Chain A
């Protein structure tokens, strides 16, 4: 038995851990099993009575230099892939905001990046994968066992243990990104800018959730393109460490307001153009390991929702106003425009606006998030499972229309009684 928690440091549970050295060792008679990668999901998706950690399933299997297809085990991290392939001129098609996630985790959460509007989700570049259900390895793709493939991509580990995957890497000629940062004085402006720059490969906005009135939604929009010239250098592996939990009173509405203002006003010019390394562009927070300790020992959560484009500004405004009013302020809030969603059963993205907000946990928070759920639901949006730690079964089932199909599939493959997480039990899966 070991104490386990994920990135948000809430909840903490006691679990039986195993870290198989090869997929041959996965036969397991237990129930209540869940796979776990690097534990970068925020809530309780990778927590259960029995946890199978993939960190020793970390081998590359083959790489085709002509097509860019990489075949590897599911415990390989994006960090490891970049370290090896950037010098050879390859990058990831889709990457989340941290490189310390596994391939298995990226598929199970069907992660998205700053280029969702152009390149879709991680699994949209996966050609096939192997999953172990009750000790038996089954391969699946869009052609073979396609139902299992579409349930597993975005399936939060609930269909079994992903052991291997094949996916495409993106050819690059430089490890640098040409970045453009534009100041937007409010929500209307930033949404117009997103529209204007819809062809940019990467786009995301940092948004100040505490400003109100005519400043509501003031933001910095960050755009990026892979540079053509430059060296093919990897990131440095050395990182700073946050050695202990920061006293949580240090993060309060005043310090957050001050930080947000400082961040917004740091950039004097309306527009800034520069060339920066991929590590600073995609992974600004990876430089400090355990930055999650900044939120103190009670932990934190991220509330990430998406609402369809039709709901648009109105929906976003309503939510931003509710947050500003609550003064529960978020340290970091990130706004992005998603492109079309895919057909994976539980994949999160749908065409529209997504906002991700960090909140320190306290006894008033869940009431606020329940209120936000109602607004999200009203606009036919939903919440990202990989960040969630408190959504109700009702909210989940109302907002993920394919959940029934997902359950039928799990039953068909005998996964429904074995692979369960704290989250899946909470939301009725």
Chain B
């Protein structure tokens, strides 16, 4: 029976991951902001087979609550197999350009809060000498684009942080996985018109779970984003700056 902590558990992708573990009778510890929605997720996961579902409310940007939050989750579950950090928000780029409060808030939600939670989690995992830490970042962190570079900067910061963390925790046998989704059809992207590049959250969840169990360190989700992002990263700077991406 696996013990799983999910932070940002009302995210559509996180919820699909939780369903997969619930079907395997896992013990789940869900941390999320919206407690009403958390309520219906508890019932759902219980019907799907979860052994136990614990929950805890949080706001990612209340950094001083993080230590206790992680402490309690580890204490409740005893041993922890997987910690998944999934929360995030897609900023309005234009708003961020004209309002630093907004920009900082978004950098906090998508960047600093994740790093704070990771710091506490990593220290716990290091003591356990086993387990997995998975964070959902984004392909947007690979290269800044005018349409969403505030978001990209935050995600990129987390990805860089995870590279170092993976090296550090490798010695203790802890597996660190950075998941970089491309386009996923979730509430975050409800307004977008969907085309062939879009993936469904349940599909993404299957990929995440598989990579966790195989201790994979491959980030792009689905895998074809590796090709797209390789191309994007190789566009010479003098060309890239003129693009409308």
Please report A residues at the B interface, Cβ cutoff 8 Å.
2-3, 17, 19, 21-22, 24, 56, 59-63, 72-73, 84
Complex CA distance for A73 and B48, rounded to whole angstroms: 14
Which listed residue, A2, A19, A24, A72, touches B193 by the CB 8 Å rule?
Answer: A2
Evaluate contact between B43 and A24: CB separation under 8 angstroms: no
Evaluate contact between B47 and A19: CB separation under 8 angstroms: no
Residues of A within 8 Å of B47, CB to CB, are: 60-63, 72, 84
Please report B residues at the A interface, Cβ cutoff 8 Å.
10, 12, 23, 36-37, 40-41, 43-44, 47-49, 187, 190, 193
Complex CA distance for A61 and B39, rounded to whole angstroms: 10
Complex CA distance for A61 and B45, rounded to whole angstroms: 9
Evaluate contact between A62 and B43: CB separation under 8 angstroms: yes
Evaluate contact between A84 and B48: CB separation under 8 angstroms: yes
Complex CA distance for A148 and B36, rounded to whole angstroms: 28
A-B interface, 10 closest residue pairs, ranked by CB to CB distance from nearest: A60-B47, A59-B44, A59-B40, A60-B44, A63-B47, A61-B43, A22-B37, A84-B48, A19-B190, A21-B187
Which listed residue, B10, B36, B37, B187, touches A19 by the CB 8 Å rule?
Answer: B187
Given contacts A19-B187, A84-B48, contact A73 B40 (CB under 8 A): yes
Give the residue name and chain of the B residue nearest to A61 (CB).
B43
11 new A-B contacts, CB < 8 A, other than A24-B36, A72-B47, are A2-B193, A19-B187, A21-B10, A22-B37, A59-B40, A60-B43, A60-B44, A60-B47, A61-B40, A84-B47, A84-B49
Which listed residue, B37, B44, B193, touches A61 by the CB 8 Å rule?
Answer: B44
Which listed residue, A2, A17, A21, A60, touches B48 by the CB 8 Å rule?
Answer: A60
Nearest chain B CB to A407 CB, angstrom units: 34
Give the residue name and chain of the A residue nearest to B40 (CB).
A59
Residues of B within 8 Å of A60, CB to CB, are: 43-44, 47-48
What are 13 sample pairs from A and B whose C-beta atoms fall under 8 A apart? A17-B190, A19-B187, A19-B190, A21-B37, A21-B187, A56-B12, A61-B43, A61-B44, A63-B47, A72-B47, A84-B47, A84-B48, A84-B49
Complex CA distance for A21 and B15, rounded to whole angstroms: 12
Given contacts A2-B193, A84-B23, contact A59 B43 (CB under 8 A): yes
Evaluate contact between A56 and B187: CB separation under 8 angstroms: yes
Nearest chain B CB to A79 CB, angstrom units: 10
Evaluate contact between B40 and A22: CB separation under 8 angstroms: yes
Which listed residue, A59, A72, A84, touches B41 by the CB 8 Å rule?
Answer: A59
Residues of B within 8 Å of A72, CB to CB, are: 47
Give the residue name and chain of the B residue nearest to A85 (CB).
B47
Residues of B within 8 Å of A63, CB to CB, are: 47
Residues of A within 8 Å of B44, CB to CB, are: 59-61
Nearest chain B CB to A167 CB, angstrom units: 14
Residues of B within 8 Å of A56, CB to CB, are: 12, 187
Complex CA distance for A378 and B121, rounded to whole angstroms: 73
Residues of B within 8 Å of A84, CB to CB, are: 23, 47-49
Complex CA distance for A63 and B50, rounded to whole angstroms: 13
Give the residue name and chain of the B residue nearest to A17 (CB).
B190
Residues of A within 8 Å of B48, CB to CB, are: 60, 84
Evaluate contact between A22 and B43: CB separation under 8 angstroms: no
Given contacts A59-B44, A60-B47, A84-B23, contact A22 B190 (CB under 8 A): no
Nearest chain A CB to B94 CB, angstrom units: 20
Complex CA distance for A59 and B43, rounded to whole angstroms: 8
Nearest chain B CB to A193 CB, angstrom units: 41
Complex CA distance for A2 and B193, rounded to whole angstroms: 7
Interface-centre pick from A21, A59, A84 (highest chain B CB count, 10 A): A59
Give the residue name and chain of the A residue nearest to B196 (CB).
A243
Complex CA distance for A84 and B41, rounded to whole angstroms: 15
Complex CA distance for A24 and B36, rounded to whole angstroms: 9
Complex CA distance for A2 and B192, rounded to whole angstroms: 9
Residues of B within 8 Å of A2, CB to CB, are: 193
Give the residue name and chain of the B residue nearest to A58 (CB).
B44
Nearest chain B CB to A204 CB, angstrom units: 31
Nearest chain A CB to B201 CB, angstrom units: 10
Give the residue name and chain of the B residue nearest to A70 (CB).
B47
